[in-house]
Amino acid sequence: MKPWDDARDLILPDVPGCPWGMARSRLILAAREFFSRSGTWSATLDPIPSQAGVAEYPEIVPTANMEIVRVRHCYYGTQEIDPLVPDEFFDRQMESPGSGVPEYMTVDADVLILSGAPSESDVPIVVDATFKPSLANEGLPDDLWDQHIEAIVEGAKARLYKSPKKPYADLSLSAEARDTFVRAMGVARARASSGSTKVKRRVRAHFF
């Protein structure tokens, strides 16, 4: 894990007079946008054992440093179940509540919700998802940092250059940095879609 402070010298020389606290906050916001839109931070959570009669499993992401953007795949035992966004999930639940073996699922506020409570215990539930840094995040895994920090820095600078009444404010430089950032997100998204940058990770899940 590399901390955000390691990017200090990549940003501050280009925004003279900017406090590091402000630059750091914009760096985190840029990183959240980058990973939300590119899908390049992916991992498989460690299996969660089902509990008979329990449909909701809270706190499936074990660290406050990351948040789920999108569930790509979910398995209940060997059966793949459809991941839905929360609105679609709850609409479908109202029409036909499930039971027994789940057919679909969602993650809402870090709670994994199955379409009906499983009838068996100890069936592994495996979630493969993309992630973004949380607002409380302290840094990035080394491989993601090495691949994407320069682009994320451009996203942060684009935000800082738009700050009104600051000595480093410059809308032209903001537009230029934003363009570099957006193009880098597009390249990263294309590579992630083709699997060329996929790094297999496992994230240990827990719930109470």
Query: What letter would DSSP give residue 165?
Result: T
Same domain for 123 and 46 = yes
Given a contact cutoff of 8 angstroms between Cβ atoms, the answer to whether 193 and 37 are in contact is no
Same domain for 190 and 125 = no
pLDDT tens track for 153-205: 999 999 999 999 999 999 999 999 999 999 999 999 999 988 744 445 555 44
Helix axes 20-38 and 142-161, enclosed angle (nearest 10) = 120
Distances, alpha carbon 101 to alpha carbons 13, 57, 58, 72, in Å:
57, 16, 19, 20
pLDDT tens track for 5-37: 999 999 999 999 999 999 999 999 999 999 999
pLDDT tens track for 58-91: 999 988 899 999 999 999 999 999 999 999 999 9
* Across 49-58, average pLDDT: 94
Structural domains of the chain, count:
2
* Residue written as token pair 């990017």: 7
* Full residue range of the structural domain in which residue 81 is found: 42-132
* Across 35-62, average pLDDT: 94
pLDDT attached to residue 205: 42
Three-class SS of residue 29? helix
Which residues have C-beta within 8 Å of that of residue 3, sequence separation ≥ 6? 138, 139
Is 208 among the domain residues? no
pTM for this one?
A: 0.87
Given a contact cutoff of 8 angstroms between Cβ atoms, the answer to whether 33 and 155 are in contact is yes
Is 185 among the domain residues? yes
Same domain for 89 and 159 = no
> Does the pLDDT of residue 206 top 50, yes or no?
no
Three-class SS of residue 69? strand
Same domain for 197 and 172 = yes
pLDDT attached to residue 96: 67
Q: Give the gyration radius of the chain's Cα atoms.
A: 20
